[in-house]
Structure 1
Amino acid sequence: MEILASRVLFRPKDYQRSIAFYRDGIGLAIAREYSGGTVFYAGQSLIEIAGHGAPGRDAPPFPGALWLQVRDLHATQNELRERGIDIAREALREPWGLFEMHVVDPDGVMLIFVQVPEDHPLRRDLRD
């Protein structure tokens, strides 16, 4: 099997509220719009908010979280606050070495904003 592309797809309870959250609150750029949906750029991935199909209230809760890497976590936290986004958990350094901050979308999906410090193994070239 060859995977050619992937994206996260949400079917929210309130389509317009979710579009406003991801576009205006989080500040994601729109990759494309179609009748009944909007696809956002999210780094090397895509997030699609679908206004069609089974609404989110009929679907099981999202079992995971979105991991969104940023260059400067404290600047991101300040920017989100200025846009009126509630910070569920303030930026802090985790025991595993990453700086993380949590935000929750209108349907309860956890967004984990991450900054990888210069000294973290994710920044090192482990090839010989």
Structure 2
Amino acid sequence: MRPAEVIQQNFFLCANHFVQVAGTVALLEAQGDVARMRERYDERRRFLVPALRDIGLEIAVEPTGAFYVFADASAWGADSLALSGRLLEEAGVAVAPGIDFGPGGEGFLRFSYATSLDRLHDGVDRLRDWAQHA
């Protein structure tokens, strides 16, 4: 069942063709908008990376080209799938388990910062509370 879940997730996590075409048009014709979006993502990254480190997660490589942070959460539990389920149920925070990205991802969690800064603050607060009481 788990292999089918991983395949299914990737059908919905990737941009479909018309979105990719729109992205190409944006890159070619809307550089001002793209620059503003990149600034917003950078602001979110500059908040999230140190915030995750402050609550005990290790981040060896800071993202430079995506809106995801891949954090070593092995101090919180070795089973990334089980841990991601606990975080969703107990803290109300959705993350992707590292095992979804191959055996080398076990113990890691992937966090997205493709949301508002307010939601990121709320999510980090929930994670901090969870980590203090887990």
- The TM-score with structure 2 as length reference comes to 0.32
- The TM-score with structure 1 as length reference comes to 0.33
Between Structure 1 and Structure 2, the one with more strand by share is: 1
